[in-house]
Structure 1
């Protein structure tokens, strides 16, 4: 029995290190949310899919992920004309290199889109030896408004990045991760940016 334990112990330690390495390689999600500091009572909600391009298969990954999180929070899916709330979903996916070329002034950490002002924050990395893989930046933006009054009561942005060949760069995985981080501890602290592992 002792021999088996001695053989098993290095395997268990190696597995623990491998798992820790995998967890460390998954980038965190930066999340910023804004709301009116009032209680948001769950009700019926419709996801607005009227914008151009939102019927694509990739975009459906994001709307499904947002819908799942809203249901987890107690919201009930409904038709857009009969819901208490309407959720608008926006998605951005681009490489870090392309974002840096498009707006060289905003290279650095931070920034935002839409009502957060400015542009998408990006970072700069250096690699030696061969052509580096592009880093893909994903951003999910969700806005919730009351259907009757049309006033926005909550909005949030979640952003992460991954190397283009990494599992985390797959649209389905990125969508689920961004939506889960965005709605973590809903509604969250207004105006605060947090990092969700």
Structure 2
């Protein structure tokens, strides 16, 4: 197909700095979604669409289906339709996704035992030699925290000539223990942010809470 990705290199460069910063600084349970979109500027005609994995990428899997379903739902809510049985779709929505884990700073256990001393002398209260101060130590080993960065990319292509008419990418990070770190929750959050105000302003990166 011709012109498989008119915007791929541009969008990758636009997101590189934001992706690096996001991965290094996320310490909250769930962060916002960084979204960048590109399109040709002309009004986008709607039509029938099918969702497919990125050619040459990971094979279709249950996790891919989670992201594909989320993207399909957003496409249908933005005026696209499901093709009739046996009929080819007018558009292809090519979906890619990635999930990476990055360790945040280790965190000590908050529980500690303190040992303190008061003044004593030969069993008598009051004067004499005194032992004062104290020490404390944590219970258990240090527990490292990790963040999961989830990324979703979508290209909408005309089936007839392979032209990319719209492309977008969304990225977010969450503490691995947060519900938003789960694949189904991340897929929904990313796809909603990616298609918010579709088609969106071309070439601009926005942050969606």
Cα offset, 1:165, TM superposition: 1.3
Say what the alpha-carbon RMSD is for the aligned residues.
2.0
2:63 aligned to which of 58, 61, 65: 58
Q: Which whole-Å CA distance do the structure 2 matches of 1:158 and 1:176 have between them?
A: 11
Kindly name which structure, 1 or 2, has the bigger radius of gyration based on alpha carbons.
Answer: 2
- Aligned pair 1:176/2:188, yes or no? yes
From 83, 87, 102, give the equivalent of 2:89: 83
In the aligned structure 2, how far is the partner of 1:194 from the partner of 1:42?
Answer: 24
In structure 2, the partner of 1:93 is: 99
Query: Alpha carbons of 1:184 and 1:50: their partners in 2 closer, same or farther (altered >3 Å)?
Result: closer
Q: Which runs of 4+ in 1 moved over 6 A?
A: none
SS of aligned partner of 1:134: strand
Q: Does 1:71 align with 2:76?
A: yes
Q: TM-score, normalised by structure 1?
A: 0.69
Unmatched runs of 5 consecutive residues or more in structure 2: 1-27, 109-141
Q: 1:80/1:39 Cα in 2 relative to 1: closer, same or farther (>3 Å)?
A: farther
CA contact (8 A) 1:45 1:80 kept: no
SS of 1:77's equivalent in the other structure is coil
* SS, match of residue 42 in structure 1: coil
Q: Secondary structure at the match of 1:159?
A: strand
- Pair 1:80–1:189, CA change in 2 (3 A): farther
Q: How many residues align?
A: 147
Provide the C-alpha distance between the structure 2 equivalents of 1:179 and 1:170, rounded to a whole number of angstroms: 14
Compared with structure 1, are the counterparts of its residues 59 and 175 closer, same or farther at alpha carbon in structure 2 (3 Å cutoff)? Answer: same
Equivalent runs, 1:1-197 vs 2, <5 Å:
25-49=29-53, 51=55, 53-78=58-83, 82-97=88-103, 125-129=104-108, 130-197=142-209
Select the structure that is richer in helix: 1
Q: Is the 8 A contact 1:46 1:80 kept in 2?
A: no
Query: Cα deviation per residue 1:73-130 (whole Å; 9 max; x = unaligned)?
Result: 0101227971111110000101134xxxxxxxxxxxxxxxxxxxxxxxxxxx534422
TM-score by structure 2 length? Answer: 0.65
Question: Which runs of no fewer than 5 residues in structure 1 stay unpaired?
Answer: 1-23, 98-124
